[in-house]
Amino acid sequence: MAAAVNYNWGTSPDASVFGSAQPDGIASPTRLATSAPFARYLYESIYERSLFVQSGVLALDSRLNNITGSRVELPFFDIFEPSEEVVNSSATWGDNTSGYYTSQKITASTQYEPYCTRGFMHSMDDLSQYQTNENALAHIRTQLTEAINKHQTAKLVSQLEGIFETALAANSLDVSEATAGSEDDTNMFSLQNVINAQYLLGERAQELTTIVVHPKVAAQLQLQGQLTFSSPAGIQPSSALQWGGGGIGVSNTLIGFYNGFKVIVDSQVPVLGDVAENAQFVSYMFGDGVIRTGSQFPIKIETERNIASLQDSMAVTYSQIHHIVGTSWKATTDHPTNTQLATKGNWELAYTDPRNVHAVRLVSNVNGGGVIPTP
């Protein structure tokens, strides 16, 4: 007689952590997922798995949470650059020639950022829980985390497209060549071009700590031995060496290092031009905390049961905000689409000097023609 198979459909950590099982002993993962602990679990998982958060580029900002309305107002003091006045013993010193300092006003301005409320819905039938022999709730958490992070990255990239075409145009360096066969070393993603882009910020160049590149750019760097990886622990006094470019001691390959920059690799980074001829790759450099994020309300998870189809349907709704410090949304549109976020006329510079915004864009080619292969 064959041994009984112990299938595990939605029992760990479902019943013990997020709710109780159904009367027949089978927990409904979609219904358990509506519990408050699961929502918190999902929220934490999204940020734990975000490379933008891990790198330090994206920072949670409590000022962006739980705001009434469709956009956030962020007042700030303008950069104060006072004129120096000469002081002497006469009665006419100072710019006003009246023997005292001239008062120079410190002004304040406001940055605006819209909330983007998004969501999606999916369904799972009972049979799939029996057939997969998987922890259904953990599967849902992983899938939701990956999906939301992917959508949030796409939204952020759209926002960056619009901002670098207007508000931060001065922080953008395009060295690329659109015509195949016409490019040379000056058009390539290289250390020289990265440094030239970095120093668009002048003396603030060292504020840039992370670079975001397309996988094809990362592949070229790794082939050239310029992309290295290390473990999160780094080098500890009581531990063995845990870094290296040859794979020795490497335990974290999510974030690499290039010329002192942390490297995020993401296929959603824009590729410009004719990708079948000579693609032009966009790369971004950021300082820590230059992108702030918050939520208008906690992730909302709602479900309903369709007994006719034996399905549980789940709707996930979230209202997220990404704010590049020093820029401002000037359009009247609320809850904009990605296309509207990428529209250059919808953004403006809030700071008087774009070099105070620690973000830079580089557009370049890569060796090998930069042709994106068709999947």
Pair 42, 142: CB distance under 8 Å = no
Separation of alpha carbons 164 and 186, rounded Å: 22
Kindly state the tokens that stand for 182: 């016409």
Tens-binned pLDDT, residue by residue, of the chain (375 aa): 444 433 333 333 344 443 444 444 334 555 555 555 666 656 666 666 677 877 888 888 888 887 778 888 888 888 888 888 888 888 888 888 888 888 888 888 888 999 898 998 878 787 776 776 665 666 777 778 788 888 889 999 999 999 999 999 999 999 999 887 788 889 999 999 999 999 999 999 999 999 999 989 998 898 888 888 765 444 444 434 333 344 434 445 556 899 989 999 888 899 988 766 688 999 999 999 999 988 888 888 888 888 888 887 888 898 889 999 999 999 998 899 999 999 999 999 999 999 999 999 999 998 865 555 554
Helix (H, G, I), strand (E, B) or coil at 250: coil
pLDDT at 340: 96
Half-sphere exposure of 371 (CA within 13 A, CB side): 10
Pair 258, 211: CB distance under 8 Å = yes
Pair 348, 162: CB distance under 8 Å = no
How many other C-beta atoms can be found within 10 angstroms of the C-beta atom of residue 44?
A: 11
Separation of alpha carbons 110 and 74, rounded Å: 5
pLDDT at 79: 80
Contacts of 216 by beta carbon, 8 Å cutoff, 6+ apart: 279, 281, 366, 370, 372
Separation of alpha carbons 259 and 208, rounded Å: 12
Half-sphere exposure of 93 (CA within 13 A, CB side): 9
Pair 311, 128: CB distance under 8 Å = no
Separation of alpha carbons 126 and 181, rounded Å: 57
pLDDT at 205: 96
Pair 144, 19: CB distance under 8 Å = no
Pair 124, 29: CB distance under 8 Å = yes
Which is it for the CA torsion 327, 330, 336, 339, positive or negative? negative
Residues paired with 284 in a beta bridge: 212, 361
Separation of alpha carbons 8 and 25, rounded Å: 11
Contacts of 53 by beta carbon, 8 Å cutoff, 6+ apart: 47, 59
Separation of alpha carbons 173 and 251, rounded Å: 34
pLDDT at 209: 94
Q: Are strands 228-230 and 256-258 parallel, antiparallel or unpaired?
A: antiparallel
Domains of the chain and CATH, by start: 25-76+107-364 (3.90.1690)
As a residue count, the chain comes to 375
